[in-house]
Chain A
Amino acid sequence: MFMIESLHPVLLLLLAAASTVWLRGWSRTAVTLLLASYALILVWQMPGGRSFEFVLGESWLALLALDYLARLFAILFTLLAVLTVLYGGGRSTYAEAGYGLTHAAAAVAVVLAGDWLTLIFAWLMLILTASLLVSVQPGRHAYAAARRLLFLHGIASVFLLIGVVGQVYTSGSVDLAVLVSDGDIGNWPGYFMLLAVLTAIAAPPLSAWFTDCCQELSASSLVWFSAFTGKAGVYLLLRFFPGFEWLLVVGLLMLVYGAVFALLSRNIARLLGYGFISSTGIIVMAVGLGNDAGLSGAAGFAFVHGLIFALMFMSAGVVMEYTRNSQLSGLGGLFQHMPLTTAYTLIAALSLLAMPLTAGYISQLLIIEAAFEPGSVWPGIVFLLAVATAVVHAGFYYPWRVFFGPARLPADDIAEAAFNQRVAMFVLAALCIVVGMAPCRLYQSLPYAVSCEPYTPGFVLTQLQLLFAAVLAAAWLLSYWQVPSADPVDFDRVYRHWWPRQWPVIRVRLVRGLKICGDICCRLLQQLARLWRHCLQRGRDLLRNYRSRK
């Protein structure tokens, strides 16, 4: 107990990150795995409440504040850190492992923060490590993507900082507080913070950074990058903006945007990135519902979504690593060469489609039930459509296109994933099934009490109908779908193409404008000097006349 209460999980993850500087190969994996696993046990067993408190001025800062919501996300982040270390093994470079673990530590620090100052510090660390993780990838495109990420999130972080300072100033306290009352944000700092959070969860039009970076990353970095930033944003939404009604619109926009752009992608990392955004839209809409069941469903599905997409990105990493190909048009029929990876991907896909006996089913059912709760059927129908939408990205299109269909690569070049990668994927796939078969443990960990019995014949049958119909329609229509020859034009067009092209013109106009302003100022000063000289001369004349008259 002494050990548990006197150690901060973030410290252990930072120690693991520091150890990557000195250790190499499997010794590095073993030590980092041990430290990350210990952080997971700490988070699991730690008593709730505030700890690691100290005084700053007149305020008490808390580096660790644990409640149901924080514990759920902290368990998810430390679990994903453990499995990503295992997945990367000796293959990932020390920079990838080090920055990845620091990124995980920052995400855990965000969810465990007990005050605004700790939160903003952890958030800045999260953004910085995300951009470092991208920038250490080889190639100038990765460096450029990291620079764009830092630019966009830098602006968002400034907004977050303004919001936090405003919140502390208006409330007079550094303690965290819910910013929504009666379905609306009560004060102006809340809007600034919301902007930063929407950037983190990749809500359009602030979304392109996510897929832009995804396609530049290696196998293990892809998992590190995708697992934490977006989920930390979802945590902040659940913590500070529960029941904000506009989130229903934002979530719906994310859902449609992600699904459409996933179909228009030719790169598998991009496809899964857009799929990630699309299914995050369901969580955002559930947060917007604002009732207890919706918020519990959102938290539960955020946890499960983390597991599912970690598994999906691991599978995409294996495909890219062993086929040396990331284009959809060049992939197909991989189930013959990668049977285990195919099986794990299918489990993740079925879980995303809310197939009964999987984790996705028990968590998405909570959201659907919450949507039907207020009396109107329309929110419920929208959520049912949202669940079925997953077939056009990670739920059906990705596994069907990559692992099935005609083989397009020579068989000799392709091998099954390495042992450590298979173990990491197996654990995630097993969790998807175990959590789905025994939902009580997840339901007990949710922030609000849940009274849902998922395995009734009605629920199971209707969900199977939805799933069957969606897969049928997707299989029919997507068989005619042509994979695009280029990546789609996204919102990043503004700062990647429009702005660099317009900048020379804007610069010339700006210089010309400044020159005109300078000229006007010079002339004004000259006139003022002339007036001054005239007044001085006139004063002297008057004084002289006065004296001569006297």
Chain B
Amino acid sequence: MEPRHWLYQARTRRYLFRLAGLILLGLLLSPLFVAMPQRLGEVESAGIYLLLGLLAPMLIILIARLLYSRLIPPPHVHD
């Protein structure tokens, strides 16, 4: 049977849903984090830090997941 394109595979979909979920969570939580530094008078928009913190590992894990089958040789191939 022909393997499905990676874009349509269940694991890709699952990771994309998690990505979207985390971004949503970040957006929901960011006002809480913006308020405190603003009160302290130091930073104007701090919610971006939360989003960036969420995004960085997610992007790397997503890239690694997509490259997994291409970069990991099958078990019978030895050096």
Contacts and interface: CB of A to CB of B under 8 A. Distances in A.
B72 A456 contact: no
A375 interface: no
A419 to B, nearest CB: 37
A256 B49 contact: no
Given A465-B33, A470-B54, 6 more contacts: A260-B67, A385-B52, A389-B60, A458-B43, A465-B46, A469-B49
Interface in A437-467: 456-459, 461-463, 465-467
A386 B67 CA distance: 20
A486 B77 contact: yes
Size category, B interface: 35 or more
Contacts of A384: 49, 52-53, 56
Contact of B72 (A387, A391, A478, A486): A486
Nearest to B66: A260
Q: Is the interface of B mostly helix, strand, loop or mixed?
A: helix
Nearest to A384: B52
Nearest to B73: A486
Size category, A interface: 35 or more
Contact of A485 (B42, B54, B75): B75
B63 A260 contact: yes
B3 interface: no
12 contacts: A384-B56, A388-B52, A389-B60, A462-B43, A465-B46, A466-B52, A469-B26, A469-B49, A469-B52, A469-B53, A472-B53, A484-B68
Interface string B49-70: 1111111111111011001101
Contacts of B48: 381
B37 to A, nearest CB: 5
A261 B60 CA distance: 10
Nearest to A481: B61
Contact of A465 (B49, B56, B77): B49
A389 B58 CA distance: 9
A263 B77 contact: no
B79 interface: yes
A468 interface: yes
Contact of B42 (A259, A389, A457, A472): A457
